[in-house]
Amino acid sequence: MQLTDHDQIGDAPSVSRPYPVHEAKAKLSAILRRVKRGRSVTISERGRIVARVVPIERPRDLPSRLREMETDGVLVRRPRRPGVIRPLARRRGGLRRFLESRG
């Protein structure tokens, strides 16, 4: 694997040079791909670091993820559990009668 000038080890800013604002705007998709892979990216303006884009730490366990999705409005919980599923046919032998009717 070949490193570029934007690669960094951990969050060591000395290994990676910051993206200038104009370059960050032009390469936003590439920056977001790097962040999704777990790397942080710094952005500078006139030679001074002004921002750092870092990955969001997502909860790992299912109950925490479900609560987060509910908070974000992605998941809407039902107000109560559904009732017992009742069979449509009340008379016994419905399957046998159906199969006999098909020949």
User: Which residue segments constitute the domains of the chain, with CATH numbers given?
Assistant: 1-77 (3.40.1620.10)
Q: pLDDT under 70 in the chain at which residues?
A: 1-16, 59, 81-82, 87, 89
pLDDT of residue 15: 47
* CA–CA gap between residue 5 and residue 7 (Å, rounded): 6
- Give the whole-angstrom CA distance, residue 73 versus residue 87: 34
Task: Return the pLDDT at 61.
Answer: 87
pLDDT value for 14:
41
Identify the CA nearest to 38 among candidates 51, 53, 52, 55. Answer: 55
